[in-house]
Amino acid sequence: MIDVLVVDDDFRVAEINAKYVGKVPGFRVAARAHSAAQALASVQRGTIDLVLLDHYLPDQTGLELVHRMREQGHGTDVIMVTAAGDVTTVQAAMRLGALHYLVKPFTFAALRTRLDSYAALRRTVDRVGGRGIAGQEQVDRIFSALRTTPAPASPGLPSGHSEPTTDLICHVLHHAEHPLSAHEVAAETGLSRSTAQRYLRHLEQAGRLRLSLRYGDTGRPEHRYAWVAP
């Protein structure tokens, strides 16, 4: 599980964001904070993987908090979640190492896309990190994991299919290193196997995925799906 610290001076907004995080498989809210001091104390305890950080806090700005975290040697990842949309603040966040910048107001789907790409980044780094030294291909894979815009879903989704779920499955297949089975897609997305299979079948028929068969000892082939670049 990825432990998240939700930081917002507005208690109501913090609660909404926390509920959003709790709906994304693989993430859990470890703490909430409503000031920079509270947030820094949570980070100092060493149990936080990711901070969802508002910029406008009562005692310091979010970017000042990130600067203090880095000065103290805390490499905790940060996603800015704020109404501050000026270019100067965005550039400063980039320079301090914020992985994403989400401008309020936003939808659950927008936040989930960022969280899913962050989870993909962690998986990619874990895989590459075991090799000690990363070549250009591995470096490119790490950076590509941060791309948050999923490929557009096919128009005219069948009844019972939702756009966010389609985008989520496209995102998982797009970043997979090899073809995945319906069982593997279900595990990555938190969906049931039958739901994953239904969406995979539609995406394959729409030409977004390539279907291949892998034969095992039982003789019954396993369906595996790979992303088809547009």
The SS3 of residue 114 is: helix
What pLDDT score was predicted for residue 219? 62
Q: Report pTM.
A: 0.63
Among residues 193, 158, 189, 191, the alpha carbon closest in space to that of 174 is found at: 189
The SS3 of residue 141 is: helix
Contacts of 63 (CB under 8 A, 6+ apart): 55, 89, 92, 93, 96
Tokens read off for 128:
């590459």
Query: pLDDT (tens digit, 0 to 9) for every residue of the chain, 230 residues total?
Result: 899 999 999 999 999 999 999 999 899 999 999 999 999 999 999 899 999 999 999 999 999 999 999 999 999 999 999 988 888 899 999 999 999 998 888 888 889 989 988 988 888 787 766 556 667 777 776 677 666 554 444 456 677 777 778 888 888 888 888 999 999 999 988 888 899 999 999 888 888 898 998 876 666 788 999 988 55
Q: Which residues pair with 181 in a beta bridge?
A: 224
Contact (Cβ atoms closer than 8 angstroms) between residue 225 and residue 179: yes
